[in-house]
Chains A and B, each alone.
Chain A
Amino acid sequence: MQNYLDGLQELWYKMGRVSVKNVSRVFTKKEENGGTEALHDVSFDVEDGEFICLLGPSGCGKTTLLRIIAGLETQTSGEITLNKVPITGPHPKRGMVFQQYSLFPWRTVIDNVTFGLEMQGINKAEARKHAEKYIDLVGLEQFKNSYPYELSGGMQQRAAIARALTNEPEVLLMDEPFGALDAQTRNILQDELLKIWEQKHVTFIFVTHSVDEAVVLSDRIVVMTARPGRIKEIVTVDLPRPRCRTSPEANRLRDHVLKLLEEERFHK
């Protein structure tokens, strides 16, 4: 009975339903009146444990939307909730991996990964034990005592993923995390990310500008229009996993999404 309750509690803690309702964001500058509208009336729901990709032409506000979900920016109107609770600021429940290398260069890999636990006041030995699990998960056991400058770009992003996961977030927000990597490293990291997603019950919201990446990774792709960003279409990717990158079905989907993006180019 007790075990069952613990299990329920675990599930409860790890619910990650994100709901975006009529969100708009206007950037105002002092010199101009009105400002530029980055997001216009965006609404969609993300199911618990779902893998969602935000895809759109550059400057369409997908990163802005992600940053609002993270609590690093605020919307001009509308509301975003996580498990029905409105988002007001950053919180470790919503982990984030950035496009730029964001590991703290003055901390070793393991000290980076334990950072979130340290902030929660967990003692060092326990934090290290916990962090090591996640370092193993991303395959950096050998490099846990290295400084970030000693790691390649791919390894740095792996460590950043481990750092975000160690807080056991309900939602993991990823802002083009593999954007700066070469194609092969990218593919490897995508596969590893999917493995992690299957092992850990986490909701993923993943910003990308790569159609291939979106098709390989996501359950659904939220395709956005050019600025101001609106939702153009939400494409369901019902390909069986593990996915084959070159299957005819994948190609058909890619084709469809690319056409959507192309339309946006001509609108401009």
Chain B
Amino acid sequence: MHGIAYDATHDEVVVPVALADAVLVFRGGADGSEAPVRVIQGTKTKMIRPHTVTVDEQNNEIIVGDSSGRSILVFDRNANGNVPPKRIIQGPRTGLLFIVGVAVDPIHDRLVAASSASVPGRKTGLFIFGRTDQGDVAPRAVIAGPKTGIVRPWQLASDPQQGKIFVAAINNESHPPYELEKPRTDLPHDVQLPSPWNSGALGFIGVWDINDDGDVPPRAIIRGDNTFLVHPGGVAIDPKDGEVFATDSIRNGLFSFLAPSLFSERSRPQSTLENGTTRSAR
């Protein structure tokens, strides 16, 4: 599974299951082989390969990014069974292709999708829509281009209080040799595709403003040898304690960064270390 979301208001965990066209909702704290409390699955859902998910706790909606459908599907938070989405963003005007991350900002009324494209004329980056947009609509803004440093985005996290979007820029090279069960005909027999060890640009966690647009650099970045991050795919935040969390598949690990200044609109807590000193990002 390449997505997960926690709904703090209702204490629920939401996960997409790409291999069974489903979105599962578990109670918070679920453990072991515990059954989900709700399952969204079936032909009416219009899901084909649900890849990523987020929850709009304020507006009671579950938002799904579908990589096969090239679509963003919005369900009622309490949806259960074979039910249609409330809204769909889908079509050539959207610019969406390989959708791998979604985030919502109910305060600024925006919906953000991370989408990758390796075909001519298409963009890789962050596609920002109105929260209630639907149909074949153009994004209100697109954060993409060389200055962004985003080669390949992945999971997103939103901090609506600050109007900030946290982006896991995984940035690894991944050229699938097959289109489903068929070898790609445009690749020569002796092609040398990138290996996991020859992995392209260094990944990072970047922060953008919800109102950013175009080829703009991140307003903050966690990147480099000292971070240990190589290709971070997952990102989550704890604004209260000023922490940023990241997963990295190359490290096969989970990292926590104390960066209270990234949440500057809030109080800046400092962590107290065992030796009595305090530490905060500077």
User: Are A and B bound to each other?
Assistant: no
